A = this chain, B = another copy of it.
Amino acid sequence: MWTGTVLRLGAAVAFSLSAELLCRFLHRSKRPRTLNEVLFFPSKVACVEHVFSPASPHSSHCPLPHGFETSFSRLLRFILSASSSLDLCVFSFSNMDLSRAVLELHRRRVTVRILVDKHYSVITGSQIGALRKAGICVRNVGRYVHMHHKFAVVDNRLLITGSLNWTLAAVQSNSENIIITDEPALVRPYMREFSRLWADNDPSLNAPSTDQTLDCID
């Protein structure tokens, strides 16, 4: 009788352990690992041609050091990873490499929407005019003293946010930080904030008769 009981108990333990291992395996394979990365600036000054042209990274004659990753090249990679959409909400946008990345996404038919501070969108060096000319949808936000956000949402999935304006000084000369995360509890509020600001600043609602209020040229 004892042998039978021990055998039954052994079988039950083996079965439960197998079930537990299977459960853990399924649990792990079901839940993808959350991306949480932090980048600090100023970034080392280096060529970023390899980020734009991975096949021929040395095609342009960039005089800067190259062949290594920097905070800025990481940032560019995250932006260029967009396959369906980029929603950008930024106070100041004058960085030409970041502008090139956004134009590249537009060329690839990624849907790009940009919200900018009304006053900072026209300062010297601003890339907003060039982006508008290329047909990218840009809306001015003018109801606050500053529209001071500096965040982007890639493919409704990946949040890039922090202190960093999209300027050369921010990237190369300031002490700055950004977080890159796909944690839904963080991404979703920013998506809602973008949608709210986008809807609130629809130029056709505010002044439907003026040509200048068009947010996209194409």
Interface residues of A (CB under 8 A from B): 8, 11-13, 15-20, 23, 36, 38, 40, 42, 91, 141, 144-151, 161-164, 169-170, 173-177, 179, 181, 183, 185-186, 189-190, 193, 197
Contacts and interface: CB of A to CB of B under 8 A. Distances in A.
B174 A151 contact: no
A189 B40 contact: yes
A41 to B, nearest CB: 9
A150 B165 CA distance: 13
Contacts of A169: 145-146
Nearest to A36: B185
Contacts of A16: 12, 15-16, 18-20
A56 to B, nearest CB: 33
Given A16-B18, A161-B179, 20 more contacts: A8-B11, A11-B12, A13-B15, A16-B20, A36-B183, A36-B185, A144-B175, A145-B169, A145-B174, A146-B169, A146-B173, A147-B175, A149-B163, A149-B175, A151-B163, A162-B162, A175-B197, A177-B190, A181-B186, A183-B183
Of all A-B residue pairs in the complex, the 5 with the closest CB atoms, nearest first, are: A16-B16, A38-B189, A145-B173, A36-B185, A16-B19
Copies in the complex: 2
A150 B15 CA distance: 53
Contacts of A176: 148-149
B146 A175 contact: yes
B161 A148 contact: no
Contacts of A145: 169, 173-174
B38 A190 contact: yes
A84 B177 CA distance: 25
Contact of A175 (B141, B177, B183): B141
Contacts of A193: 40, 177
Contacts of A12: 11-12, 15-16
Contacts of A91: 163
Given A12-B11, A19-B16, A163-B163, A175 B148 contact: yes
